[in-house]
Every structure is written in structure tokens, then in C-alpha cells.
Structure 1
Amino acid sequence: MVDDRYAEPELPPLDTLAARLEYLFDNIRPTPDELSDADESGRRYTNREIADKINEVATETGVTISAAYIGELRRGVASDPRTSHVRALAAAFGVNSGYFVDDAAARRIEDQIALLNELRRMDVKQVALRQVLTDNGLSATDTRLI
């Protein structure tokens, strides 16, 4: 008999764009800089907030998106977005756009997000966090992003 107490937690199947997008909404939270004083720390992003993040840089990227369209992507109603929308969504969440199309990249990013959330739960400070992320194979660019 195998002892399940030490088994790696199994991640849910993320085989659709909607599932992967929902995973990001479930696991990535607004930074303190993005929250107003009245906002609840640790809450989820809204479709509107992600759309606003994308639209704020539209002059640089040429990409705009609506909150309604993000909702359609999350529900799977819309399932074939333009490449520019995929890149913009990835940038808004601070992940590589390969997350949405490459299973290996998706698993790597999910592992990194899980590690980051666990470190935050443990209240690891920035210097220690940077070292742990580097020790776990994150590039300097990804570590700065996080």
C-alpha cells in the first residue's frame, strides 16, 4: 500500500483555454499596488480588472479586450482567441504566453505558482523568496517578475 500523505498533490486537468484561464484567476491575486485601501487583500481579480490591465497598455501593444470577452473565454463560450489576446492575457497575469498552448509550460508555471503561493502562505520575506525561486530553476527575469 502506498502512503498518500507524501504524494505530490495532483493538479486538475487543464486541457482547455477556459480551464487554464480560470486557474490563473483562482491562483494569482492583485498586488498591493493594484488594490485601493478599501480593497480586500488576497481577493481574486475581476474580468474588468484584467481587461483594464490589458487596455492600459493598448497604445504599446495594439491590443484591447473587453471584460465580457474575458468572461466568455473563462466560460468556454469563446475558445479560439487571437494570438494577441492570448499574449495580452498572459502578460496581465505575469506568465509566459506558452502557458495557454504548451502542456509542459503550463505544468511548469502551475508548479511555480503553487510554490509562490506556499511561500506567501509561510510569509517568506523577499530576499529569501528570491533565493528559493532561483534555487528552483526560475530565471532572473521570472524571479524579478514574481
Structure 2
Amino acid sequence: MTEASNHKDEASPQPRSLAEKLEHLLAVTTPSGQRPPSNEEVATAINIAAGDKTISATYVWQLRTGRKTNPTMRHLEALAQYCGVSAAYFLDEDESRKIDDQLSLLEALKQTDTRDIALRSTGLSESSRRALHSMIDQLRKLEGLQDEPGTGP
């Protein structure tokens, strides 16, 4: 899990800024082992997809750094489409948290070992799945990791 997604562990989390949400989204939607896209790469991809000049690299930079905080809906929709999420990600804190949870799951499933554990648990009885869950909880505690949301039995 990325450091930016630790917001879920707080009892009463503060709403994140547009810049924080955008940076987090660009980081978690970047394939493993690659750097997040540059402002120029984001703007170019959005403009190509739109078929016209929708956004500039400078404006992407301003949004990513918090220098601009009130983009148009057209810009939000273009950024959301680029990242493969709903524009509601930027507008609604509950929706962004829900999408972050889904992205965390996808990120975890990219790890071969995690995917193998999930696939190998298919067909196990409910009591066996609970036992597996308990073992994972114990291992997380031993390694000093906090529980993740949505990991109930």
C-alpha cells in the first residue's frame, strides 16, 4: 500500500485536496516498476483522447502541485478518464475512498503471491477461509501492519 493511501487508517480522516487525490491516483494507476507520468505525458494523452487541446502540461502541473484548485468539470472528467475512474473521485470524499479501496485491491492482486493465495482459497469451506483470515491477521500483527478496510471474514 502506498503512503498516500494511509488516510484510511485514521479515525476521522481529513478531506484530501485535489492535488493529493490527483497525485495518489496517478501513483496507484501507474504500472509497477514505472514512474508516474509527467505533466506533459498526462496532457498529451488527454489531448489525443479528446481529439483537441483540452489541457496543457502547465495546467496539469498547477493541479498536481495545488497551485490551481478549482478546475472545470471538463478538466476533472478528462483527468478521471485518463486514470480510469469516475470524475466523482475528485468531487466526493466518500466516493474517492471507495475507489481507493478498489484500487488497493487491484494493486494487491497484481502481486503474484497475493493472487495465488486468493485463487488457492477458492473452494475452501467457510471455516477454513476464516482460519486463513485469522492466520493472515496474526502475520500482519507480527509484521507491525495495520488491518485493511474490507478484510472481514
TM-score under structure 1 normalisation?
0.65
Determine if contact 1:63/1:84 at 8 Å carries over to the other structure: no
Q: Root-mean-square deviation (CA), in Å?
A: 2.6
Residue 48 (structure 1) shift:
1.4
| Matched residue, 1:80 | 70
Tell me whether 1:70 sits opposite 2:90 in the alignment.
no
Count of matched residue pairs: 109
1:81 alignment partner, SS class? coil
Please show how residues 20-99 of structure 1 align to structure 2 within 5 Å.
Answer: 20-30=21-31, 41-59=33-51, 64-99=54-89
2:110 alignment partner, SS class? helix
Larger radius of gyration: 2
Residue 122 (structure 1) shift:
2.9
Please show how residues 101-120 of structure 1 align to structure 2 within 5 Å.
Answer: 101-120=91-110
Residue-by-residue CA offset, 1:61-101 (whole Å, 9 max, x unaligned): x6611111111101110111011000000000001110000
| Matched residue, 1:142 | none
Residue-by-residue CA offset, 1:25-78 (whole Å, 9 max, x unaligned): 221115xxxxxxxxx94332221111111100223xx66111111111011101
Determine if contact 1:18/1:75 at 8 Å carries over to the other structure: yes
Question: Where does structure 2 lack aligned partners over 5 or more consecutive residues?
Answer: 1-7, 120-153
User: Identity, % of aligned pairs?
Assistant: 37
In the superposition, relative to structure 1, how do residues 103 and 63 fare at CA in structure 2: closer, same or farther (>3 Å)? farther
In the superposition, relative to structure 1, how do residues 119 and 103 fare at CA in structure 2: closer, same or farther (>3 Å)? same
In the superposition, relative to structure 1, how do residues 24 and 13 fare at CA in structure 2: closer, same or farther (>3 Å)? farther
Residue 19 (structure 1) shift:
0.9
In the superposition, relative to structure 1, how do residues 85 and 63 fare at CA in structure 2: closer, same or farther (>3 Å)? farther
Separation in 2, partners of 1:74, 1:13: 19
Question: Where does structure 1 lack aligned partners over 5 or more consecutive residues?
Answer: 1-8, 31-39, 129-146
